[in-house]
Amino acid sequence: MAMLEMMYVYFDSNGDIKTISPDPVIVSDSYSVATFPLSEVKDILEGKKNPFDYYVKITKSVAGTLHKITRKQVLEVSYVRTLDNFLTEVKTMAKSADAFVLIENIVSEKKIKISLNDIVKVLLHEGNDKDQDTVNSFINHTSTSLFFTRKNDPYFLLHTLIFSPKELFEKSELFWDYNVDLSDSSVYTKKLLDGYSYRIK
């Protein structure tokens, strides 16, 4: 008889999946853990399903506590297009000045700075129809998310940042404080423009 292989799934108070491991790992005290058969998390581990689209649902009854990996409901339908259909990693460009959207992690201050290149505003007014359409699409997004994960590990979420592209367009720079360790992190997002760049300072 084949043995049932179990996996440890760590999640936060919202049920968001933080990491999946075949063995117990040391994580934040604020995380909870439940075990699931490998078959239930295999598609997530193989990249066929995005862990950000699922959460651990807890149901309590007289029989005990039941944990179930459940797909998140889509609360808002957006018809504005993105360049990516799935989350992709934001790489570091050789020259920060070339980035349309520059995400800077200022580790010493535990602060995230997002800057929009001035060329984006120029493209809106002086670019061709395609450029203007792309910039307008960027502005029309009500919000977009940046997912900070352990370095090169999209399955270990450390921090989530949500911002308004329109506000970034209007102010050119936005700042946020954080209180976790992002000194060795990667960023994943759905890109709304070409030329995203992430750097740790």
What is the tens place of the pLDDT at every residue in 113-169? 999 999 999 988 888 888 888 898 899 888 899 999 999 888 888 899 999 999 999
What is the tens place of the pLDDT at every residue in 23-38? 888 888 889 999 999 9
Q: Same domain for 66 and 100?
A: no
Pairing relation of β-strands 196-200 and 101-106? Answer: parallel
Q: What is the mean pLDDT of residues 48-67?
A: 84
The C-alpha atoms of residue 78 and residue 76 are separated, in whole angstroms, by: 6
pLDDT at 46 over 60: yes
What pLDDT does 82 receive? 43
Q: List the beta bridge partners of residue 89.
A: 188
Q: Same domain for 61 and 125?
A: no
Q: To the nearest whole number, what is the mean pLDDT of the chain?
A: 86
Q: Same domain for 38 and 107?
A: no
DSSP 73: P
Q: Same domain for 53 and 131?
A: no
What pLDDT does 155 receive? 82
Task: Among 43, 71, 99, give the residue marking a domain's end.
Answer: 71
Our count of domains for the chain comes to 2
The C-alpha atoms of residue 167 and residue 114 are separated, in whole angstroms, by: 11
Q: Is residue 81 part of a domain?
A: no
Q: Same domain for 62 and 107?
A: no
What pLDDT does 114 receive? 97
Task: Among 71, 103, 119, give the residue marking a domain's end.
Answer: 71
Q: Same domain for 30 and 125?
A: no
The C-alpha atoms of residue 23 and residue 63 are separated, in whole angstroms, by: 27
Q: Give the H/E segment covering residue 111.
A: strand 111-116
Q: What is the pTM of this model?
A: 0.60
What pLDDT does 73 receive? 63
Provide the CB-side half-sphere exposure for 191 (13 A, CA).
18
First to last CA, the chain: 53
DSSP reduced 3-state for 41: helix
Q: Same domain for 106 and 182?
A: yes
Across the chain, which distance is largest between two alpha carbons, in Å?
69
Q: Same domain for 114 and 182?
A: yes
What pLDDT does 85 receive? 56
The C-alpha atoms of residue 184 and residue 77 are separated, in whole angstroms, by: 34
Q: Same domain for 22 and 100?
A: no
Q: Same domain for 117 and 189?
A: yes
The C-alpha atoms of residue 175 and residue 68 are separated, in whole angstroms, by: 36
pLDDT at 185 over 80: yes
Q: Is residue 1 part of a domain?
A: no
Tell me the pLDDT band of 3, cut-offs 50, 70 and 90: low
Q: Is residue 158 part of a domain?
A: yes
Residue 47, domain extent: 6-71
Q: Is residue 82 part of a domain?
A: no
What pLDDT does 199 receive? 96
